[in-house]
Amino acid sequence: MRGRESFAEVSIHVIKLLLILSSVSLLQDSKKKSLLVFDDIVTSMDNSYRSFLYRYIQNEFNDFQIIILTHSTSFFNLCEHWINEKDKSNQWVIQGIYEYGGRHKIYTKGRLSTENIKKKIDENEDITTLGNETRQLFEMLVQQFCMLTMIGAKEETDKLISEISKNEQNGSFYITEQDIQTSTDLLKSIRNLLSNCPADQQLSKIKQKIDTFDNKKTNRLSSWLDEMKMYQKSTLHQASHGHTGLPDISSSEIKASLQVLSQLESAIKKMKIGKIQV
């Protein structure tokens, strides 16, 4: 027998949770529909526990309607990763929250993307509506980026852009026209050197890799954000606030905005993968 003091706090938390979930499973009434809500259950857990817990929930409660609420960006990304890995995206609605105009707004993953908006332009949908969707996508991507890099809190988009600009030389990533490198990529390079580089050259090669990562000066993020701010003020703002007395919004202006957003979208996607793997 092991006393309570022999277990780490996180282990005790997981054991309690599994006991509760086992009781829920045993008491399920097969004649009724079952709803199970998880509210921020991964506090203090590392990724191995979180991954186990998500798979356990999926395997043991697949007859339940499941709602998972979390403040954890890594757990959110982990759940999304597993949903896509198991090709179950049609069984889930993935939503997040961002702030706009002093209010919290919910966005649904997959419904707003540069690809979807481009398709709607080709189908001649209402241009004002598409301008508004493009603005919402921009704000959503800025919020996601800040969640991934832990920059700022739940604030207005303009404040977050200012914070991003201050933190552009963030040590966890750099973005150029040709490449997006995260700390995960750096770690992979170092592991490769440790496995394949002659021992007498390892230290100098590793230092060279780190120096290259730290000294990248062509980070493109701020220029993308500055360009999008210009489109936001001159084009996208009138889509959501009316444009009396202003020129009509054109599809070419929205396409130009989407061209910039697609690069930001791609960077965020890669950074999410890095967050899952670290």
Angle in degrees, CA 166, 168, 172, rounded to 5: 125
How far is 185 from 274, CA to CA, in rounded Å? 8
- 194-248, pLDDT tens digit by residue? 999 999 999 999 998 888 877 765 566 777 777 777 776 656 655 555 554 445 5
Q: Which residue has the higher pLDDT, 100 or 105?
A: 105
State pTM to two decimals. Answer: 0.57
Length of the chain: 278
Token pair of 96 as six digits: 């997040």
List all residues 6 or more positions away from 27 whose beta carbon is below 8 Å from its beta carbon. Answer: none
- 186-205, pLDDT tens digit by residue? 888 899 999 999 999 999 99
Residue written as tokens 């054991």?
15
Q: What is the pLDDT of residue 35?
A: 92
